[in-house]
């Protein structure tokens, strides 16, 4: 009896010690965020949705948070990294089929890769689609995975001369971690290719493949020459995870409405609306690229010429204000942008 | 110091006690299975893939197990429960549009529901498709969910006069639980409708919506008359999760190859092949319906007239033998089939 009591007391003490330790660790969440409305809204949201007894409490199984990737979790300028992958995969394609070297759009890409950046403007959207199907489909899912891994190991962002997965935003990494520490399941919902992003999401963001939702071609089941089953990537888009495609794919892949959603462009509008339209407290957040010095300024904080990348219109900004979305200023809300700073 | 030592000793003791307790609990896994090759193969598979240091050890993140539903986890005869849902939803449809009452196939369904079971034979596959689109699509995903919930609360299987979700196989429920206790993530991969099965999978199998993969129509994002975002179910099949569609959807929704897969018909062949073709130890298992008394006998153990439901050909049986899949005899391997027995 005495022993048991003493044991119980010691265990209670140890629980207190642990609680204190974790409390101390949690005392400084979102360390790369400046104090302000944006940081406060995240902390307040998490407190209200995860504190038992809170009127806004959300059961753990329903704590779903979705994140756009390009421009929300990592740099999207001057070009989506997957577009870089597509362009940089062309030489291998030409090596296998030399006749492509003189055919547009392959010939145009070869010029771009030789340093003629002006040639980039000659690539139309149909050109890019053609290049995408040529470099992203037609092979087995394993072959594609190996090709992406090989590229990732060598590719560098042109401005910072660093591997792409070092160009993630430290404050957003902290949000991912903070949400997960509070029982949220974090998903990527990207217009980028699902099979592409799955190759590095676990290592880069701690997000496993089954929590990466993205644009996707279908696959076809078949057998290779040794009779082994293979899945071959079809040259046909099955899911386009931009705009309304984001909530559509969230329903398809998760089957629950997110409680929190993060984006940075018009392509994320519907995901944020859909999230906010759920019952109870919801968090919708837009990252505003307004730091021309440390990163880039575009959208309403325009400093760059208009590009196809990262459209954040004044209308979206107005909708955010009207519907109570939080707009994060990279310039003012983020103490640090990259971990290497 | 003394206190600390004593605490450490007590904690070590308590760890031993817990280990012993959990060891004792684990001493009788799969209690509804008779001792035999099938039960042994499951236990041996789990031991080898989850024991640290085992040459066949699989890291927890990669422990994916996929289960067909109809005929594998619950009864599929005399008719898939979702087909019952489709038929039993017709009266509400006719109430909303009375002119349908005299039009085939709606009129045929009304006769079936009045007790004319012979009329069932008059429904062709195109008829069933037409009925499926009429009852499963065109509404918001929330409206559909509410309709399924309402149906589930009242519907009964015609033979046992019990709600469908009581007609799950107890031995398979034990397999689900046993795998999860050993760090496996359990998924349903069904030819049935994903949105349909998600309505009861958590309560019935402990499987959350995001781990239910099934045939699916697309949805379209839009706004209702109050300007609220809604997802409306399209009358167009996006994913057909039978045959090769199973591995295709596993790749789409999970992005990892299963380590274990369970099925019962030719529609599961590709999922089992795909699973077995992965590196290392894999488990592929087919449930053979050979118990005409306690459940049904069909497939190679045929006792029922040939139906569209539950095709398990001799060829599949032969492939299972050749490729080392485990064939489970319901009659011989299962001590109990249902929890209510």
CA closest to A230 among chain B residues: B274
Instruction: Say if B113 is an interface residue toward chain A (CB within 8 Å).
Output: no
- Per-residue 3-state assignment (H helix, E strand, C coil) for A222-266: EECCCCCEEEEEEEEEEECCCCCHHHHHHHHHCCCCCCEEEECCH
Q: What letter does residue B184 receive in the DSSP assignment?
A: P
Nearest-Cα distance to chain A for B209, in Å, is 6
- Closest residue to B209, CB basis, from A210, A231, A256: A256
Q: Closest Cα to residue A36, out of A330, A261, A337? A: A330
Instruction: Say if B220 is an interface residue toward chain A (CB within 8 Å).
Output: yes
Kind and range of the H or E run holding A100? none
Q: What pLDDT score does B118 carry?
A: 87
Nearest-Cα distance to chain B for A335, in Å, is 34
Structure confidence by residue, pLDDT tens digits, A117-134: 888 889 999 999 999 999
Q: Is the pLDDT of residue A11 over 80?
A: no
* Pair A105, A131: CB distance under 8 Å: yes
Nearest-Cα distance to chain A for B164, in Å, is 22
Whether residue B78 is preceded by a cis peptide bond, meaning omega within 30 degrees of 0, is: yes
Q: First and final CA of chain A: distance in angstroms?
A: 58
- Angle between helix B2-26 and helix A2-26 axes, rounded to 10 deg: 90
At A67 the three-state DSSP class reads: strand
* Pair B178, B206: CB distance under 8 Å: no
When pLDDT is averaged across residues B15-28 and rounded to a whole number, the result is 48
Q: What pLDDT score does A138 carry?
A: 96
Q: Closest Cα to residue B120, out of B323, B305, B275, B294? A: B305
When pLDDT is averaged across residues B219-229 and rounded to a whole number, the result is 96
Instruction: Say if B65 is an interface residue toward chain A (CB within 8 Å).
Output: no
Kind and range of the H or E run holding A32? none
Contact A209 B274 (CB under 8 A): no
Q: Is the pLDDT of residue B8 over 80?
A: no
CA closest to A243 among chain B residues: B221
Farthest CA pair distance, chain B: 88
Structure confidence by residue, pLDDT tens digits, A27-40: 589 999 999 999 99
Lowest-confidence range among A260-264, A325-329, B117-121, B291-295? B117-121
Contact B244 A221 (CB under 8 A): yes
Size (chain B), residues: 341
- State percent of chain B over pLDDT 70: 89
* Pair B286, B264: CB distance under 8 Å: yes
Instruction: Say if B10 is an interface residue toward chain A (CB within 8 Å).
Output: yes
Q: What pLDDT score does A29 carry?
A: 93
Tokens of B2: 């003394």
Structure confidence by residue, pLDDT tens digits, A317-331: 889 999 999 999 999
* Pair B290, B329: CB distance under 8 Å: yes
Task: With cut-offs at 50, 70 and 90, classify the pLDDT of residue B27.
Answer: low
Lowest-confidence range among A78-82, A90-94, A183-187, B296-300? B296-300
CA distance A312 to A310: 6
Nearest-Cα distance to chain A for B169, in Å, is 25
CA distance A102 to A108: 9
Structure confidence by residue, pLDDT tens digits, A219-255: 999 999 999 999 999 999 999 999 999 999 999 999 9
Lowest-confidence range among A101-115, A281-295, A313-327? A313-327
Contact B252 A210 (CB under 8 A): no
Q: What pLDDT score does A16 carry?
A: 41
When pLDDT is averaged across residues B109-117 and rounded to a whole number, the result is 92
Q: Which regions of chain A does DSSP assign to beta strands (E)?
A: 64-67, 185-193, 212-223, 229-239, 260-263, 283-288, 326-329
- What ipTM did this prediction achieve? 0.90
Contact B255 A218 (CB under 8 A): no
Q: What pLDDT score does A28 carry?
A: 85
Which residue of A13, A229, A261 is the best one to mutate when testing the B interface, meaning the one whose CB has the most B CBs within 10 A?
A229
Q: What pLDDT score does B302 carry?
A: 62
Residue B245: CB atoms within 10 Å: 23
Instruction: Say if A238 is an interface residue toward chain B (CB within 8 Å).
Output: yes
Instruction: Say if A197 is an interface residue toward chain B (CB within 8 Å).
Output: no
When pLDDT is averaged across residues A180-191 and rounded to a whole number, the result is 98
Task: With cut-offs at 50, 70 and 90, classify the pLDDT of residue A277.
Answer: very high
Kind and range of the H or E run holding B110? helix B106-113
Structure confidence by residue, pLDDT tens digits, B192-210: 999 999 999 999 999 999 9
Tokens of A66: 């979705």
CA distance B19 to B89: 51
Contact B229 A274 (CB under 8 A): yes
CA distance A74 to A186: 16
Pairwise pLDDT comparison (B266 vs A208), residue with the higher score? A208
Task: With cut-offs at 50, 70 and 90, classify the pLDDT of residue B86.
Answer: very high
Kind and range of the H or E run holding B126? helix B125-136
Lowest-confidence range among A297-311, B23-37, B178-192? A297-311
Share the mean pLDDT of chain B: 90
Lowest-confidence range among A22-31, A194-203, B231-240? A22-31
pTM flag (> 0.95): no
Number of A to B CB contacts under 8 A, please give it: 95
Q: What letter does residue A63 receive in the DSSP assignment?
A: -
CA distance A205 to A174: 10
Task: With cut-offs at 50, 70 and 90, classify the pLDDT of residue A8.
Answer: very low
Residues of A in Cβ contact (< 8 Å) with B221 = 243-245, 247-248, 270, 274
Nearest-Cα distance to chain B for A285, in Å, is 18
Q: What pLDDT score does A309 carry?
A: 52
Tell me how many degrees the CA angle B291-B295-B296 measures, rounded to the nearest 5. Answer: 65
List b or e across B123-136, with b for residues whose CB sees 16 or more CB atoms inside 10 angstroms: beeeebebbbbbbb
Q: Is the pLDDT of residue A72 over 60?
A: yes
Tracing tokens 């697309």 back to the chain, one arrives at B218
Tracing tokens 């959208």 back to the chain, one arrives at A299
Q: How far is CA A221 from CA A62, A226, B239, B341, in A?
A: 33, 15, 13, 41
Tracing tokens 């974790």 back to the chain, one arrives at A22
Q: Is the pLDDT of residue A13 over 50?
A: no
Instruction: Say if B277 is an interface residue toward chain A (CB within 8 Å).
Output: yes
CA distance B205 to B177: 9
* Pair A76, A310: CB distance under 8 Å: yes
CA distance A214 to A211: 10
Pairwise pLDDT comparison (A197 vs B17), residue with the higher score? A197
Q: Can you say how many angstroms the Cα of residue A199 is from the centroid of all Cα atoms in its chain? A: 13
Instruction: Say if B198 is an interface residue toward chain A (CB within 8 Å).
Output: yes
Tracing tokens 């462009």 back to the chain, one arrives at A265
Residues of B in Cβ contact (< 8 Å) with A252 = 194, 216, 218-219, 238
Contact B253 A10 (CB under 8 A): no
């Amino acid at each position: 009896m005495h022993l048991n009591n003493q044991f119980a007391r010691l265990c209670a003490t140890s629980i207190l010690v642990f609680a204190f330790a974790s409390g101390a660790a949690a005392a400084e969440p979102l360390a790369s965020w400046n104090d302000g409305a944006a940081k406060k809204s995240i902390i307040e949201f998490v407190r209200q949705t995860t504190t038992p007894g809170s009127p806004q409490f959300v059961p753990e199984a329903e704590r779903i948070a979705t994140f756009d990737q390009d421009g929300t979790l990592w740099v999207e300028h001057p070009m989506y990294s997957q577009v870089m992958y597509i362009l940089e995969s062309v030489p291998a394609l030409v090596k296998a089929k030399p006749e492509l070297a003189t055919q547009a759009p392959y010939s145009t890409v070869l010029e771009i890769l030789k340093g003629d950046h002006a040639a980039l403007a000659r690539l139309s959207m149909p050109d890019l689609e053609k290049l995408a199907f040529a470099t992203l489909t037609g092979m087995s899912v394993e072959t594609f995975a190996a090709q992406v891994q090989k590229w990732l190991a060598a590719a560098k962002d042109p401005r910072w001369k660093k591997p792409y997965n070092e160009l993630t935003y430290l404050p957003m990494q902290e949000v991912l971690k903070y949400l997960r520490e509070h029982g949220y399941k974090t998903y990527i919902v990207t217009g980028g290719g699902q099979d592409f992003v799955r190759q590095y999401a676990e290592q880069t963001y701690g997000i496993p493949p089954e929590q990466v939702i993205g644009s996707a071609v279908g696959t076809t089941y078949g057998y290779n020459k040794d009779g082994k089953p293979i899945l071959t990537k079809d040259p046909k888009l099955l899911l386009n995870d931009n705009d309304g495609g984001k909530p559509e794919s969230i329903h398809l892949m998760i089957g629950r409405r997110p409680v929190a959603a993060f984006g940075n462009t018009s392509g994320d509008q519907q995901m944020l609306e859909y999230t906010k339209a759920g019952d109870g407290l919801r968090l919708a957040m837009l990252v505003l690229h307004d730091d021309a010095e440390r990163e880039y300024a575009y959208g309403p904080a325009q400093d760059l010429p208009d590009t196809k990348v990262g459209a954040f219109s004044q209308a979206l900004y107005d909708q955010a204000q009207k519907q109570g979305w939080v707009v994060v200023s990279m310039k003012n809300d983020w103490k640090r942008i990259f971990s290497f700073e």
